[in-house]
């Protein structure tokens, strides 16, 4: 009986985390002090974070969190940054050296390119997190304001799309890591067999 109670309580907690995560902008920028929107949602549920730590969400996001959690509204805590108008990354292509550092930094796979080749940002997929700017060794990435009519998706639909892309990237990276570990294991086994046969 007790195990079932714990399980249902964990389900309720997970549901609450997902509901809060659904209210966040899904920029995955880390400005809140956590490694993405879901960890921030988890921290709010656990009492380790406040509702006013998300600069991309701004007052609108804080108001949505406050209403959902039945808490009083608080202004954005300036320790976490300031709210900015929506923006996207733009690569000055003639300056790009193809280092792939921006590709690795992008949490939603919104940058296309390959090593030693020019990169470009898929503006519609970019969340404006700015995580690609700092790693660029030649400062060829700038942030540009987003035009008001950026597609026909609502803010919630854009957040949901960014969340799906972030989760897909996480699955892809986990699969790549597992494949790399398997290749390493196979190489070690082959090397061990070679040593045994000599």
Q: What is the pLDDT of residues 149-178, one digit of tens each?
A: 555 778 888 889 899 999 999 999 999 999
Quick one: fold of 87-145? Answer: Alpha-Beta Plaits (3.30.70)
CATH 1.10.15.40 fits 2-80, yes or no: yes
Range from 111-115, 122-126, 192-196 carrying the lowest mean pLDDT = 192-196
Question: What does the pLDDT average to over 27-49?
Answer: 96
List strand residue ranges (DSSP E) for 99-191, in order: 111-112, 120-121, 141-145
Q: Do you know the residue count of the chain?
A: 198
pLDDT value of position 1: 42
Per-residue tokens: 149:
């009519």
Residue 77 CA to residue 133 CA, distance in Å, equals: 23
Q: What does pLDDT average to over the chain?
A: 91
CB atoms within 10 A of CB 132: 23
pLDDT value of position 5: 54
Predicted confidence (pLDDT) at residue 66 exceeds the cutoff of 60: yes
CATH 1.10.15.40 domain range(s) in the chain: 2-80
């Amino acid at each position: 009986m007790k195990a079932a109670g714990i399980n249902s309580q964990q389900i309720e907690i997970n549901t609450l985390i997902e509901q809060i995560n659904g209210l966040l902008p899904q920029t995955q920028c880390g400005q809140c002090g956590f490694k993405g929107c879901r960890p921030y949602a988890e921290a709010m549920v656990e009492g380790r974070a406040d509702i006013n730590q998300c600069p991309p969400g701004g007052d609108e996001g804080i108001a949505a969190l406050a209403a959902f959690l039945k808490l009083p509204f608080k202004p954005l805590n300036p320790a976490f940054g300031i709210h900015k108008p929506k923006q996207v990354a733009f690569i000055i292509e003639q300056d790009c050296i193809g280092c792939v550092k921006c590709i690795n930094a992008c949490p939603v796979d919104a940058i296309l390119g390959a090593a030693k080749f020019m990169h470009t940002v898929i503006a519609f997929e970019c969340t404006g997190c700015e995580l690609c700017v700092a790693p660029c060794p030649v400062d060829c990435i700038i942030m540009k304001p987003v035009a008001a009519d950026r597609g026909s998706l609502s803010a919630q639909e854009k957040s949901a799309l960014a969340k799906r892309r972030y989760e897909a990237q996480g699955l892809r990276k986990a699969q790549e890591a597992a494949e790399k570990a398997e290749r390493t294991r196979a190489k070690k086994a082959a090397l061990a067999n070679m040593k045994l046969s000599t």
